[in-house]
Structure 1
Amino acid sequence: MNERETDLINRLEHVKEIRSKTVHLEKVRSKLRQEFENTENEEKRLEEYKQEMELLLQEKMAHVEELRLIHADINLMETTIKQAEEERNRSLESTKKLYDEFRPLKDEVDQMRGIMGLEKLPDLQEEEEKLTPDFFEKQNTEWTSEPQPEPPIPQTISVPPATPTQIQVPRTQKPPEPRQQSFRQQPPPMKACLSCHQQIHRNAPICPLCKAKSRSRNPKKPKRKLDE
């Protein structure tokens, strides 16, 4: 074997090695592109999950604030009722004293008029039917508020985490603005799950009932980061 043949064999071996490395490189390139696209898609889903968590927390805080205002209104109304009862009781006590003073005085006047041959004065019941001794007994009762049972809290649906990394939700949220007295919380926008057809939150990326991913019917195509 001369030197030329040896050089040719070496070149063929080199070409063979290049071809093998090139095939392996293309496989790595294909896997790299696939994993990169998966990473981009998961990153996008992760952002959707974080946004959904923020919306849920904001909705929770809105409900908590509304419940706090309702309890404040209840406490204010109870205080108002107690003050009105005190005013009523003072007026009732004054009315009872005047009634007790009126009865013997009327009897005395009627007796004096009878001696003179005059008719008796009309009774109070003829002018006001409710003004009787029973009126003061019935009006002496006080109003008491009956405790209302708390509504049952629905059980939380546990969803297994997709990755071991926990989602960190920023705690610096803008506090909800105080509502007006006539404000009532509007129900969140809903949509039907394409898998189980149950009503879920419009922005929910996954269905909390059947765990199916809820995606838009016209999803945006991911941008190609690497050239083929």
Structure 2
Amino acid sequence: MLSDLPPIPDGYSPVPPGKLATIVTCLEMLEKPPRKAVRPVERPMLVERWEKPPLDEYRALFRAIGEDWLWFSRLVMPEEELRGKLDHPLVENYLLRDGKRAIGLAELDFRVGGECELGLFGLTPDATGQGGGRFLMSRMIARAWSRPITRFWLHTCTFDSPQALGFYKRSGFRPYALMVEIAEDPRLSGHLPRTAAAHIPLAVEAARVVPTNLVG
């Protein structure tokens, strides 16, 4: 239970060297929402199931979508663990395609009985703002609620696109918890280039400029 967790003290707390901190918002949908009309996409797109994707292709698309937002979870995950997740019969991966080109990726995880987690959702930078996100989300909502679930949930964080939280809320998800995530900076380990997510200071750079007299 979240209420059983020790409280985080008010004020500023130092982040260990080499680490990053982000605020995570958890959102959920507890019933299937009314079907909404989806505005036409600007060019033909389709959503298709991606079964047992090759790891190199999967990670390349994951990186293409998430590098600007510091996505790293599937890059640091051991290959055996990632392979097991991708091949699990209760984990479904979907591609958004623009012709033959993959421009979006979504993951539905049904491994917990009675619920579904939207484990991944994103589009490549050149595909945003053209209706593809809404097109893909409408199909993920329909697919998730085609199974006997009572909860569809996801999380986003302050490293993600500033539009992400509003998009999820407009899709019918409602925030239910806030968390702080501490993680190694993947740019320091080489999992992402140091030029990735330029809006987020490198952990080593941030550590050099910690002020000594912070005032709220």
Answer yes or no: same fold by TM over 0.5: no
- Which one has more relative contact order, counting CA pairs under 8 Å at least 6 apart? 2
TM-score, length basis structure 1: 0.18
TM-score by length of 2: 0.18
User: Structure 1 or 2: larger helix share?
Assistant: 1
